[in-house]
Every structure is written in C-alpha cells, then in structure tokens.
Amino acid sequence: MRELISIPTRALMVKEWKSVKSKIIPLSIGLAIFSFLTIGLLKALPYIAEYMEELLPEIDEIMVTESFFSNANSIISIIAVIFCADAIAGEREKNTLVLIQTKPIKPSSVILAKLLMRFLLISIATVIGAIVFYISSVLLVGVPDPWIFVQSLLIFLLTLFTYVSIGVFISASTKTQISAGAISAGVMFMIVIISSLLVFEGIQPYNVFQLSVNLISTNFSTLTILLDCLILILIGIVITICSILVFKKEKN
C-alpha cells in the first residue's frame, strides 16, 4: 500500500489528516448524542404527550433503527458535505493552495487525498455514533438485527462517500469557504428532501440515497442492493473526476 501511494501524496494526506483531526472528537460526541437522542426521544414521546401513546405504533428495534438511519441520512450527510467546504475553497481563501500547487503532486492525488481524509473522519464519527446507537437500543428497546444493521451502516458509509465527493466538487468549484458551504447545504437539502419524498413502492429500489433506510423494513434482492451500491460508487467516481478536471483547469 505504501508503494502504491507516492511520498508527496502521503505527505499531503498526513497534512490533510492533521488539519481535520481536531474535528473528530466534537463530531463523534455530537453524533453519539444525536444517536442516543434518536432512541431517547422516541421513548420519551408517549410520556411527553399521553395522547400520542395511542397514535404511535409500539416502539421496537426496527422502528428505532429506521429512525436512526433516516435522521443520519438527513443530518450527517449535510454535516459531511458542509465539512468538505474547506477542502479546496478554504485553501484558496487562505492562500495555502499554492503550497500544494508548487509541489510535484498530481491534481488527481490532491483531490483524492482531500476526499479520502474527510471521508475517513466522517466515517469514524459515524461508526462511533452507530455503536452508541446500537448499545442504547440494546439497553432501552431491544437488539437490532446485527446483519441488517451492519449492512445498512456500510451502505450509509457508501452514501457518505458520494456526499463527500459532492462536497469536494463544490469546494473545488467555488472561491470561498462560505460560498462552498452555502451551496453544499442547498444542494444536500434538495437531495435529502427529494429522496425522502420518493416513498412510492415502485421507486424504492432505485432510490439509492435512501437505500440504507429502506433496507431495514423492505426486502430487497441482493442484486438490487449490489446494483444500488454500484450506482452510488459510480456517482461518487464521476463527481470526483469532475472535481479533478475543475482543479486542473485552474492552470489555464
């Protein structure tokens, strides 16, 4: 692996990790609290408003797991994309991008190093949040199916990869971190809203951005799941190639 990545790219990855790692603790704590609250609020609802007890179906592990992934899909994805706003636009704003441009590093390596380090950070925080959720569910509601849970988590991480690639693309295309953040939030808001509104049964198998949520209560064939994962990866790769092209174009 070390031989696959050149020394300059490795150094850039170290630099990227050093610049993002300070966010790992607050982000993990935030996601852990969010995970706990997902269950806590559902458990507390009937006590907060007694009439809701009759309206709400019985809270079980499937319901809370679905709720966790649904909330994660809306909130963590927006955080992930906004978090990428500094990737290129932030460096451009602070005049540090030129430090990278004067080094013998390919534009593709620059984009990949930035994307991978941010994806790694978001993934670590998400996994910590998921572990907290799982333990909370075991203690308060019931044991979620570990296979479905892990499957949904892995697919959610794949979705996050696509979201992070969108964030890096927006960052590479904009001049300032604030504009990158604002555009990212807008784009993600639209993706999340549109994909969560596509509730029609016939569309569900093709709703790749909601796959991690729908997987919990719906039975999809293995082929459908693999195909959806492939589509997610392809979207991520295409957007990453676009980011590289945009970054390369700066020379002209």
The pair phi, psi for residue 89, each rounded to 5°, is: -60, -40
- When asked if residue 7 is in the footprint of other proteins (CB under 8 A), the reply is yes
Nearest-angstrom CA–CA distance, 208 and 77: 14
- Binders of other proteins: how many residues, by CB under 8 A? 26
Among 41, 49, 98, 143, binds other proteins (CB under 8 A): 98
Among 33, 41, 52, 96, binds other proteins (CB under 8 A): 96
Among 8, 30, 142, 205, binds other proteins (CB under 8 A): 8
Crossing angle for the helix pair 146-173 and 177-197, to the nearest 10 degrees = 140
- When asked if residue 179 is in the footprint of other proteins (CB under 8 A), the reply is no
Nearest-angstrom CA–CA distance, 31 and 127: 9
Nearest-angstrom CA–CA distance, 140 and 124: 24
- When asked if residue 101 is in the footprint of other proteins (CB under 8 A), the reply is yes
- When asked if residue 18 is in the footprint of other proteins (CB under 8 A), the reply is yes
Nearest-angstrom CA–CA distance, 205 and 218: 9
Mapping DSSP onto H, E and C, the string for 54-95 reads: HHCCCCCHHHHHHHHHHHHHHHHHHHHHHHHHHCCHHHHHCC
- When asked if residue 106 is in the footprint of other proteins (CB under 8 A), the reply is yes
Q: Pick the piece of the chain touching other proteins (CB under 8 A) from 70-78, 89-97, 116-124, 171-179.
A: 89-97
Residue 176, both tokens: 């300032």
Among 33, 41, 52, 94, binds other proteins (CB under 8 A): 94
- When asked if residue 6 is in the footprint of other proteins (CB under 8 A), the reply is yes
Among 47, 50, 104, 202, binds other proteins (CB under 8 A): 104
Helix (H) or strand (E) holding 84: none
Residue ranges that bind other proteins, judged by CB under 8 A: 6-8, 10-12, 14-15, 18-19, 22, 91, 94-96, 98-106, 251-252
